[in-house]
Amino acid sequence: MFKKWREKKVEDTKNIEEQPNTSPEKTNWVEELSRSNDFVNDHTSSEKTEPFWISYFRTLVMSETLHRDVVPYLSESHSLDRVKNNIPIQQTIVTSDKKLIKEKLLQGFAAIRLTEQDTKCLLVNVANNKFRDISFPMMESTALGPQAGYVEEMDTNINLIRKHLPSSDLHVKEMQIGKLSSTKVAVIYMDSIADKDNVETVLQRINDVQYDHISDSSYLASMIEDNTNSLFPQIIPTERTDRTIAALTEGKIVIVVDGSPDVLIAPITLAESVVAMEDYYVPWLIANYLRLIRLFGLCVSLIISPLYIAVLTYHYELIPAKLLDSLVASRAAVPFPPIIEVLILEISVEFIKESSLRLPTKIGTTLGIVGGIVIGQAIVEAKLTSSILIILVGLSTLASYTSAIYKFNNSVRLVKYPIIVMAQLLGLIGIVIGLNFLLAHLLRLTSLGRPYIGFYPFRKNMFKDLWVRLPFWMQKENPDNLRPQVKQKAVFDRRSPGPPSDFDE
């Protein structure tokens, strides 16, 4: 059964490949494109026989550029080559390839022809690329550090990267994917550092992508991930420039997708989820403390509700005598078993979160307050859950957002549910079985074929930045798990030069 299904799938993909050849090539591109009302096909002089004919998509071009840098030069010259030489725009092509013309027109080029029937035409880039200005990173804000977030436009994003890394080593490989959307994708890496295999893998996988449209980098990420069924993101999106720069210098690969303010980083490890860029802007001890807090937060959010269920459903022995009174008395009147109690609260927290996320900020905040305080209070007073559980679920919700990666937060929230069910089934043993499945899953996961979990296989220098943030002079090596070609970072060691001095000298 499985085999047949797979064969069918292969046939389907073949069909998709054949489609482009059947599209009508014979019809005139002007006629074809004129069906859209925003297509302009104008004649620049009053005489019908005189040049030029100019055609473009009104909605795609920057009319200012068109009128300033193209139209004035048309009247001065009489051949396409002359025009090409005259106009102060560098991106020009002279071609008669219909397919190319169509493609370029759809990207915001203007086509200039001598006569209406000409096949040969000059393509000038007058595309309107302005989306919006660079702004603050909204999802990954920090108090310190650069506040430039990526925008929806690829060239601007690459520009941001190049500005920070003015090196000939920085290679950018551009491609187009998406049958209908023809989205531009750029794969960026440091040629001398990044592992060749990793680059090969990324390019190969992007090339293999077949889909109608790529709306966001997340589309691409989930298409080229190693295991698409996993809850954990194996390629992380970021909108922070500093994160991408750091990733590039370590030998990671960065993928920029046109139209998406999120830039992808691969390969990554689990540890990256607790690393915030702010760690590098504060003293290293504080950074490690913050990392520990985040890691602890992850554990707490994963384990606290299941533990509550397990202890109160099966293992009342675990409760110390002094705690027994408050824990049991607080839910003496609750008519439900702990699992229902936990599910009621966990799901209502999800409701609050979902509803306030989809609303404008102001309403969202109000809604959060109403949901959190009013409902929480009422639920306890109505004796539907115990007040201690409200505290625990509140804590675990807070803790589940401590990770620096938004995508990872979501996985943590979902991973908790199977463990809750296991806790109900088998108490503590159930929790451990659930966690073991999680561990096995993480061990199996790979990111671009590199182990995802981060501490296995064990490499000494992994602890030097991946898990523990050491002072800069101690971070001498690039992490081994990326198989970087350059092992050593250029590190300035303030301690080594100069003669040794004693305390009082």
Partner 1 sequence: MKYYLLTISIVILFVLSGCQIVPTQNTNEISIIQGVGFDLTSDEKLLGTIVYPEYRVDETSKVEILKAEGDTVQETIDRSQNEVQYPLVSGQLRLVLFGQKLAEKGLYPIIDTIRRTPEIANTIQLAVIEGEASELLSIKKYGKENIALYLSDMIRQNARIGELPTTDLAIFSYNYHNDGNDPYLPLLKKEKDKIKINGIGLLKDDRLITTLPVKDVFTLKMLIERFKLGTHQYKLSEDEFVVISNIKSTPHYEVKVNKGIPEFTITIKMDARLQEYRSIDRGPTDKKKVKQLQVQIKNKIEQDAARIIMFLQENGVDPIGLGSKYEAHYRDFDLRKWEEQYPNVEVKVNADIEMVHTGVVE
Partner 2 sequence: MQVNIRHQVSPYFLFFIIIGAQTGVGILGFHRIIAKHAGYDAWISVLIAGVIIQLVMFVMIHLLSSANGDIVDVHNQLYGKILGSIMSGIIMVYFWLAAVSVLREYIEIIQVWLFPTLPTWVMAVLILLLCYYIISGGFRVVAGICFVAVLYTFLLFFNHFNLPRNYIHLDNLLPILDHSFADLLRSAKETSYSMAGFEIILMVFPFIKNAKTSRKFAHLGLAYTTLFYTVGAFTTFLFISEKQIQSNIWARININTLTTFSFIQRIEYILISLYLIKIVTIISLMLWASSRGFKKIFNKKQKAPLLVLMVLTLVLCQLLDNRYILHSFLNTVSSISLGLFYLYIPLVWLVFIMVKKKKRVTR
Query: Whose Cβ is closer to partner 1: residue 89's or residue 428's?
Result: 428
SS3 43: strand
Q: Map residues 2-21 to x or -, x wherever contact with partner 1 holds by CB under 8 A.
A: x--x----------------
Q: Exactly one of 31, 317, 502, 505 binds partner 1 (CB under 8 A); which one?
A: 317
Piece of 259-267, 327-335, 404-412, 459-467 that binds partner 1 (CB under 8 A): 327-335
145 binds partner 1 (CB under 8 A): no
Contact 433, 441 (CB under 8 A): no
- Return all residues near 240 (Cβ < 8 A) that are at least 6 apart: 137, 140, 142, 146, 149, 277
Stretch that binds partner 1, among 87-95, 235-243, 331-339, 450-458 (CB under 8 A): 331-339
Rule CB under 8 A: say whether 312 interacts with partner 1: yes
Q: Is 503 in the site for partner 1 (CB under 8 A)?
A: no
Q: Which x/- pattern over 409-438 shows residues binding partner 1 (rule: CB under 8 A)?
A: ---------------xxxx-----------
Which one of partner 1, partner 2, none is in contact with 340 (Cβ closer than 5 to 8 A by kind)?
A: none
Handedness of CA 378, 382, 385, 387 (dihedral sign): positive
337 binds partner 1 (CB under 8 A): yes
Q: Please name which of 253, 250, 213 lies closest in space to residue 235, comparing C-alpha atoms.
A: 253
Please state the three-class secondary structure of 230-254 as a single string.
CCCCCCEEECEHHHHHHHHHHCCEE
**Bond preceding residue 109 cis, omega within 30 of 0:** no
436 binds, among partner 2, partner 1, none (CB under 5 to 8 A by kind): partner 2
Q: Checking DSSP bridges between strand 109-113 and strand 170-177, what pairing results, if any?
A: unpaired
Q: Is 305 in the site for partner 1 (CB under 8 A)?
A: no
> For residues 25 and 22, what is the distance between their CA atoms, to the nearest angstrom?
8
Please identify, using beta-carbon distances, which residue of 160 and 304 lies nearer to partner 1. 304
Q: Which is nearer to partner 1, 334 or 359 (CB)?
A: 334
Alpha-carbon gap, residue 169 to 151, rounded angstroms:
24
Summarize as ranges the residues that interact with partner 2 (CB under 8 A). 314-315, 317-320, 322-323, 426-429, 431-433, 436-437, 439-441, 443-444, 451, 453, 456-458
SS (H, E, C) 191-238: CCCCCHHHHHHHHHHHHHCCCCCCCCHHHHHHHHCCCCCCCCCCCEEE
- Report the chain's C-alpha Rg in angstroms: 29
Which of partner 1, partner 2, none binds 344 (CB below 5-8 Å, type-dependent)? none
Cα-Cα-Cα-Cα dihedral sign, residues 419, 423, 425, 428: positive
Q: How far is the CB of 332 from partner 1 (least distance, A)?
A: 4
Binding site for partner 1 (CB under 8 A): 1-2, 5, 312-317, 319, 321, 324-325, 327-329, 331-334, 337-338, 383, 424-427
